[in-house]
């Protein structure tokens, strides 16, 4: 858990107090207050802090764990529900793709102890590979989805979700977005109430999904949907806020706050539940206003449903289907609909802002790995993690990146296609390897693919802020745990050629990779150095550049280390370089590359 | 400014990952909440740790709806880094907005990509004077320098909080109390001093530029741009295809051709650094840099 987080966590017990909480902190609080006993997740922005915050509540109240991936986390939660306790899992939108198989069947089974799944979407793709709309999964799996619009609702709807889950015998989604998850607002907290104890319910017809049972349960699910709709027509979760009846706006979640911001006088139907939709309420609402506008981020889920019900409405004709909403986007859409005057763009400052893309940290152990791959001119199937940043200059050595765990099997496919002349390398981080890299590595061995797998072991899940995993030897709560030995693991899968390299030794890195690529069949190279940010911030003595001898060749800059920039000195019209002593962690990689031995530790 | 009317006040705090943007916004948000306002503080920090831009919206008033500030409605823009401040300037209220910026420059490696002779870093060239002229009220200060003089450059964000405190309507003691509760115990005194320093500096008028701030932006006008033609010759007969120059060229502009001889594949990228010539074991490469005109000094 990061230091910053430790400071922000809500006081675990305090009831009745008001605190500024992020959406994620509020969801965590709701889980604890609802008396949940088991919570499991795999990290993923923007959902990660939910489990980290649950882990700040007493272990005697709730078991909280990192699982190896989202499907595992979902199955752990399902197991706890089978055993009769309230259970919880959280994941980012794409995590639900991984967990979907379990979800689809469990929807048929229903719950014993209430089961709530927090799904955090990322409209605007702040930190993801796509911006899929998870509400569509709710419709697909036929489970209700609750959409809070601020911290207070995040807490209350999460609590309520457990009641709905048990009352209607269904898993329930609480859907957040990056904006809600990372916005802090005042939240009044309640106290924890544990539901009456239940035990395993021996009922194979409900719990064992063989075809005969599943056929029966499908009917039960459809009936459940009908009962939910009935109930949703009258629950205060969906509320009408009366106003000017010339237009009625139907909205939910964070976009509701934008609507209130830009058009405070409109009649609004705020949906707390966006699937299933309350047909009677919607018909009545539409009849009470002259014109219905749907304001929803991403997909036209509500709009399409309204149209299917025969309710005339407009939505995506005025609002974008891609990207994150904002007060500006909502204003522009309402202006397009002829309901507001367009914004005047009185921006007096006309200059193109400098781009500041994210970069690998100064001293990041991944940098030398990709430098070597670029020098060796490999075809690199990439994966997801900090190391994906090596796709841009100056490291620029990743050719593909699909989804977590894709790299190894992508490489197998490239090798089997037989068109590639370059050596084929899959690069994958330690956390990603444990998440979904092991089955494809077995696939590669089994099918005799001629590839090199470069396992970038930085001893942490870095991208999402430094979470533990089975390779770190620690659990979510910081307790010691058995530690995966990657060498032994890889060998046990049948890989014959495997070697470890030091990420801070550029020469041996190149040599080892060259040997690995020359090996026929599957070879595995494991780079081994901890991330410099987590779990502890690494800061060794900084390096400096001797200005007299630097010939401004810029070889050191090819690392992309953010501590290295140009100095005020020149050589033959080229900038000499300098190192920011505050930022440099002293990894010595640049010194290894320097052609004139101008880079040395500060004396 | 700093009125407690029915209006929502909008403060946007921007900077680079690791600078303490979140600390500034948290202090402000807590202060507002303690003063009885409704507050929303929204930040996107997915990639923040990797040196990308960070921004945090703080809105307070009787009732705050949207977590983000609509464009052109920022009352106060606090920038912990110069170029980041410029990036968000157009979000400032044109007629009443206040701009508070540290003049410190964090030049990303990306800005040093163009390695042609005499190339300047692709970094915001605008000077504090130019910018201050265009805003309603503005302070460009060397907050990092001030904090460093007090013994801890990392407290630059607290120096800016000191400046911010002069524009908002909260008592000085309230600021100090919340800052003390937010920072680690051992740095309370340092932050108290940093706050006082920033506050005292900003009391000096509605538009102020620190002298060091303007100086910082002048340094680059003194560079030289020699016009040089680079001629790179490879003696094919001597090249044995060892690949050393190809691997070591910083611009990656050499390659081995089909006959396994080195050739200059991307002449536009060659900077004439002569590394290949020095490294070639067989002295097969010769690099000549011929001045076209006299270097303009
Ligand atoms: C299915 C899915 N789950 C979670 C994420 C979020 N995520 C992106 S990268 C990553 C982990 C990266 O860890 P690792 O592979 O060890 O690389 P590192 O960042 O440490 O370099 C996670 C959890 C995702 N993109 N997709
Ligand atoms: S957080 Fe760790 S793994 Fe990620 S870029 Fe920084 S050093 Fe590298
Ligand atoms: S030693 Fe060089 S490469 Fe390593 S962090 Fe310092 S400047 Fe960057
Ligand atoms: S590699 Fe060495 S000589 Fe070349 S620019 Fe860097 S510090 Fe200067
Ligand atoms: S002089 Fe040689 S090493 Fe330097 S950039 Fe040109 S080709 Fe590359």
Domains of chain B: 9-210 (3.40.920.10), 228-291 (3.30.70.20)
* Percentage of chain B lying above the pLDDT 90 cut: 48
Contacts of A331 in chain B (CB under 8 A): 70
Contacts of B89 in chain A (CB under 8 A): 349
CA distance A580 to B74: 33
Task: Please state the domain extents for chain A.
Answer: 3-232, 238-336, 365-528, 543-601
Q: Cα distance from B254 to chain A (closest Cα, Å)? A: 12
Predicted confidence at residue B127, as pLDDT, reads 84
CA distance B139 to B96: 14
pLDDT tens digits along A443-493: 999 999 999 999 999 999 999 999 999 999 999 999 999 999 999 999 999
Q: Is A401 annotated as a binding residue?
A: no
Q: Once rounded to an integer, what is the mean pLDDT over residues B50-77? A: 92
pLDDT band at residue B48 using 50, 70 and 90 as cut-offs: low
Cα B47 to middle of ligand 1, angstroms: 12
Q: From the candidates B14, B34, B38, B46, which should be mutated to test the interface with A, based on the most A CB atoms within 10 A?
A: B46
Please indicate if any CB of chain B lies within 8 Å of the CB of A359.
yes
Torsion A502-A504-A507-A513 (CA) sign? positive
* Percentage of chain A lying above the pLDDT 70 cut: 97
Is the pLDDT score of B223 beyond 80? no
Instruction: Report helix, strand or coil for A383.
Output: coil
Is the pLDDT score of A79 beyond 90? yes
User: Is-contact A79 A211, C-beta < 8 A?
Assistant: no
Burial class for A290, CB neighbours closer than 10 Å (0-12, 13-18, 19+): exposed
Please indicate if any CB of chain B lies within 8 Å of the CB of A306.
no
Regarding the beta carbon of B289 and ligand 5, being less than 6 Å apart is answered no
| Cα A239–chain centre separation | 31
Predicted confidence at residue A346, as pLDDT, reads 65
**ipTM of the predicted structure?**
0.91
**Cα distances (angstroms) measured from residue A179 to each of A150, A294, B70:** 10, 20, 14
Q: Which residue CA neighbors atom 6 of ligand 5 most closely?
A: B270
CA distance A267 to B94: 32
pLDDT band at residue B213 using 50, 70 and 90 as cut-offs: low
Is the pLDDT score of B52 beyond 90? no
Contacts of B123 in chain A (CB under 8 A): 354
Is the pLDDT score of B16 beyond 50? yes
B53-61 and B9-16: which strand pairing?
antiparallel
CA distance A38 to A590: 47
Q: Give the pair of three-digit tokens for residue A343.
A: 């914004």
A24 Ramachandran zone, left/alpha/beta (phi>0; psi -120 to 50):
alpha
Strand pairing partners for B76? B11, B98
* DSSP tag of B265: S
Point out the ligand 5 atom lying closest to the alpha carbon of residue B264: 7
CA distance B116 to A286: 64
Nearest to A124 by CA among B297, B44, B50: B44
pLDDT tens digits along A396-444: 999 999 999 999 999 999 999 999 999 999 999 999 999 999 999 999 9
For residue B144, whether the previous peptide bond is cis, meaning omega lies within 30 degrees of 0, is no
User: Is-contact A151 A124, C-beta < 8 A?
Assistant: no
Is the pLDDT score of A387 beyond 80? yes
pLDDT tens digits along A567-583: 888 888 888 999 999 88
CA distance B92 to A560: 33
Cα dihedral value A450, A456, A457, A462, nearest 10: -140
pLDDT tens digits along A32-58: 999 999 999 999 999 999 999 999 999
Nearest to B115 by CA among A355, A79, A394, A519: A394
pLDDT tens digits along A341-366: 998 876 667 777 787 888 899 999 99
The shortest CB-CB distance from B112 to any of A150, A261, A557 is to A557
User: Closest ligand to A529 CA?
Assistant: 2
pLDDT tens digits along A528-579: 999 999 899 999 999 999 999 999 998 999 999 999 999 888 888 888 999 9
Cα A545 to middle of ligand 4, angstroms: 8
Average pLDDT, chain A: 94
CA distance A330 to A318: 9
For a mutational test of ligand 4's pocket, the pick from A546, A553, A570, i.e. the residue with the most ligand atoms closer than 8 A to its C-beta, is A553
The distance in angstroms from the start CA to the end CA of chain B is 48
Regarding the beta carbon of A95 and ligand 1, being less than 6 Å apart is answered yes
Residue B251 phi, psi dihedral angles, 5° rounding: -95, -5
Is the pLDDT score of A2 beyond 50? no
pLDDT tens digits along B229-257: 889 999 999 999 988 899 888 888 999 99
A238-336 matches A543-601 in fold = no
Please indicate if any CB of chain A lies within 8 Å of the CB of B7.
no
A125 Ramachandran zone, left/alpha/beta (phi>0; psi -120 to 50):
left
B239 Ramachandran zone, left/alpha/beta (phi>0; psi -120 to 50):
beta
Cα-only R_g, chain B: 26
Predicted confidence at residue B45, as pLDDT, reads 63
Residues 228-287 in A contacting B (C-alpha not used; CB under 8 Å): 254, 257-258, 260-262, 264
Q: Once rounded to an integer, what is the mean pLDDT over residues A374-381? A: 93
Regarding the beta carbon of A395 and ligand 2, being less than 6 Å apart is answered no
Strands laid side by side in the B9-16 sheet: A18-22, A183-188, B38-44, B53-61, B9-16, B76-79, B98-102, B137-141, B207-209
Q: Give the pair of three-digit tokens for residue A401.
A: 């990146």
Residue B152 phi, psi dihedral angles, 5° rounding: -155, 95
Domain A365-528 has CATH 3.40.50.970: yes
Regarding the beta carbon of A123 and ligand 1, being less than 6 Å apart is answered no
Nearest to A103 by CA among A91, A37, A232: A91
Predicted confidence at residue A425, as pLDDT, reads 98
Is the pLDDT score of B218 beyond 50? no
pLDDT tens digits along A52-75: 999 999 999 999 999 999 999 999
| Exposure b/e, B186-198, CB count within 10 A at least 16 = b | eeeebbbbbbbbb
Nearest to A45 by CA among A466, A437, A436: A466
Burial class for B235, CB neighbours closer than 10 Å (0-12, 13-18, 19+): middle
Is the pLDDT score of A247 beyond 90? yes
pLDDT tens digits along A248-297: 999 999 999 999 999 999 999 999 999 999 999 999 999 999 999 999 99
Q: Give the pair of three-digit tokens for residue A508.
A: 């041996």
Q: Is A313 annotated as a binding residue?
A: no
CA distance B121 to B115: 9
Instruction: Report helix, strand or coil for A571.
Output: strand
Is the pLDDT score of B219 beyond 60? no
Architecture of domain A238-336: 3-Layer(aba) Sandwich (3.40)
Residues 159-198 in B contacting A (C-alpha not used; CB under 8 Å): none
Residue B229 phi, psi dihedral angles, 5° rounding: -100, 135
User: Closest ligand to A122 CA?
Assistant: 1
The CATH label, of 3.40.50.970, 3.40.640.10, 3.40.50.2000, 3.40.630.30, for the domain at A3-232 is: 3.40.50.970
- Mapping DSSP onto H, E and C, the string for B65-134 reads CCCCCCCCCECEEEECCHHHHHHHHHHECCCCCEEEEECCCCCCHHHHCCCCCCCCCCCCCCCHHHHHHH
Q: At A545, which helix (H) or strand (E)? A: strand A543-545
Is the pLDDT score of A603 beyond 90? no
The structure's pTM equals: 0.94
Regarding the beta carbon of A588 and ligand 3, being less than 6 Å apart is answered yes
pLDDT tens digits along B82-112: 999 998 998 999 889 999 999 888 888 888 8
User: Closest ligand to A569 CA?
Assistant: 4
Nearest to A331 by CA among B43, B38, B66: B66
Name the fold adopted by A543-601. Answer: Alpha-Beta Plaits (3.30.70)
Do residue A179 and residue B68 have CB atoms under 8 angstroms apart?
yes
Strand pairing partners for A600? A544
Predicted confidence at residue A4, as pLDDT, reads 43
For residue A151, whether the previous peptide bond is cis, meaning omega lies within 30 degrees of 0, is no
Is the pLDDT score of B297 beyond 50? no
Instruction: Report helix, strand or coil for A473.
Output: coil
User: Is-contact A441 A383, C-beta < 8 A?
Assistant: no
pLDDT tens digits along B110-139: 888 888 887 878 888 888 888 888 888 899
CA distance B111 to A434: 36
List pocket residues of ligand 4, CB cut-off 6 Å: A 545, 550-556, 577, 593-596, 598-599
Please indicate if any CB of chain A lies within 8 Å of the CB of B134.
yes
Instruction: Report helix, strand or coil for A281.
Output: helix
């Amino acid at each position: 858990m990061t230091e910053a987080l430790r400071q922000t966590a809500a006081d675990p017990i305090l009831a009745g107090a008001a605190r500024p909480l992020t959406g994620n902190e509020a969801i965590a609080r709701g889980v604890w207050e609802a008396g949940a006993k088991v919570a499991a997740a795999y990290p993923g922005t923007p959902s990660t802090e939910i489990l980290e915050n649950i882990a700040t509540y007493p272990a005697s109240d709730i078991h909280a764990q990192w699982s190896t991936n989202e499907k595992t986390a979902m199955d752990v939660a399902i197991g706890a529900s089978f055993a009769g306790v309230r259970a919880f899992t959280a994941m980012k939108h794409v995590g639900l793709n991984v967990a979907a198989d379990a979800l689809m069947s469990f929807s048929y089974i229903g719950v014993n102890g209430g089961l709530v799944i927090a799904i955090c979407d990322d409209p605007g793709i702040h930190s993801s590979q796509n911006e899929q709309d998870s509400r569509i999964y709710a419709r697909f799996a036929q489970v209700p989805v609750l959409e809070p619009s601020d911290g207070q609702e995040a807490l209350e709807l999460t609590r309520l979700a457990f009641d709905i889950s048990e009352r209607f015998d269904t898993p329930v989604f609480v859907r957040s977005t990056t904006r809600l998850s990372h916005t802090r607002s005042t939240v009044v907290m309640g106290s924890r109430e544990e539901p009456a104890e239940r035990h395993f319910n021996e009922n194979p017809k409900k719990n064992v999904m063989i075809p005969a049972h599943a056929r029966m349960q499908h009917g039960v699910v459809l009936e459940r949907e009908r009962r939910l709709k009935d109930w949703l027509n009258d629950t205060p979760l969906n509320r009408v806020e009366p106003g000017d009846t010339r237009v009625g706006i139907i909205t939910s979640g964070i976009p509701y706050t934008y609507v209130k911001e830009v058009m405070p006088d409109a009649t609004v139907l705020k949906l707390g539940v966006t699937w299933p939709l309350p047909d009677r309420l919607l018909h009545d609402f539409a009849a009470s206003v002259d014109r219905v506008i749907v304001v929803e981020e991403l997909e036209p889920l509500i709009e399409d449903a309204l149209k299917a019900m025969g309710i005339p409405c407009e939505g995506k004709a005025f609002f974008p289907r891609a990207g994150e909403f904002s007060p500006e986007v909502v204003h522009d859409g309402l202006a397009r609909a002829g309901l507001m005057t367009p914004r005047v763009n009185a921006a007096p400052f006309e200059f193109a802002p400098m781009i500041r893309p994210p970069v690998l940290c100064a001293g990041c152990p991944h940098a030398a790995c990709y430098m070597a791959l670029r020098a060796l001119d490999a075809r690199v199937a990439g994966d997801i993690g900090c190391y994906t940043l090596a796709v841009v200059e100056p490291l620029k050595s990743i050719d593909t990146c699909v989804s977590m765990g894709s790299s190894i099997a992508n490489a197998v496919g490239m090798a089997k296609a037989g068109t590639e002349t370059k050596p084929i390398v899959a690069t994958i981080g330690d956390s990603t390897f444990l998440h979904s890299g092991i089955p494809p590595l077995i696939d590669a061995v089994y099918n005799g693919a001629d590839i090199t797998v470069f396992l970038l072991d930085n001893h942490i899940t870095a991208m999402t802020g430094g979470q533990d995993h089975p390779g770190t030897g620690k659990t979510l709560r910081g307790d010691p745990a058995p530690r995966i030995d990657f060498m032994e693991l890889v060998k046990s899968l049948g890989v014959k050629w495997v070697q470890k390299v030091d990420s801070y030794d550029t020469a041996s890195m190149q040599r080892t990779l060259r040997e690995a690529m020359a090996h026929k069949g599957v070879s595995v190279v494991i780079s081994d150095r901890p991330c410099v940010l987590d779990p502890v911030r690494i800061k060794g003595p900084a390096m400096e550049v001797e200005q007299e001898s630097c010939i401004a060749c810029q070889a050191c800059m090819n690392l992309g280390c953010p501590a290295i920039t140009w100095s005020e000195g020149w050589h033959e019209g080229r900038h000499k370089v300098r190192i920011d002593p505050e930022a440099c962690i002293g990894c010595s990689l640049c010194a290894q590359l320097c052609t004139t031995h101008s880079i040395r530790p500060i004396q | 400014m700093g009125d407690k009317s029915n209006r929502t006040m909008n403060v946007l705090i921007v900077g680079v990952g690791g600078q303490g943007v979140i600390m500034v916004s948290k202090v402000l948000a807590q202060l507002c909440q303690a003063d009885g306002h409704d507050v929303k503080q929204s930040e996107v920090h997915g990639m923040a740790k990797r040196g990308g831009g960070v921004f945090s919206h703080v809105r307070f008033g009787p009732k705050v709806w949207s977590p983000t500030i609509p464009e052109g409605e920022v009352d106060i823009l606090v920038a912990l880094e110069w170029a980041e401040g410029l990036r968000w300037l157009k979000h400032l209220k044109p007629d009443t907005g206040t701009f508070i910026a540290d003049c410190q420059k964090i030049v990303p490696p990306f800005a040093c990509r163009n390695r042609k002779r005499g190339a300047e870093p692709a970094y915001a060239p605008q000077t504090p004077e130019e910018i201050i002229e265009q805003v309603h009220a503005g302070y460009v200060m060397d907050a990092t320098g001030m904090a460093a003089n007090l013994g801890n450059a990392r407290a630059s964000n607290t120096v800016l909080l000191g400046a911010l405190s002069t524009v908002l309507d909260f008592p000085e003691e309230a600021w100090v109390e919340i800052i003390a509760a937010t920072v680690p115990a051992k740095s309370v005194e340092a932050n108290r001093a940093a706050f006082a320093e920033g506050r005292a500096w900003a009391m000096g008028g509605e538009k102020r530029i620190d002298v060091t701030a303007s100086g910082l932006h002048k340094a680059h006008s003194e560079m030289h741009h020699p016009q040089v033609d680079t001629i790179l010759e490879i003696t094919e007969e001597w090249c044995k295809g060892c690949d050393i120059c190809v691997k070591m060229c910083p611009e990656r502009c050499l390659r081995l051709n089909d006959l396994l001889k080195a050739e200059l594949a991307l002449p536009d990228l060659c900077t004439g650094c002569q590394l290949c010539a020095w490294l070639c074991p067989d002295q097969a490469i010769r690099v000549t840099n011929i001045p076209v005109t006299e270097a303009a000094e």
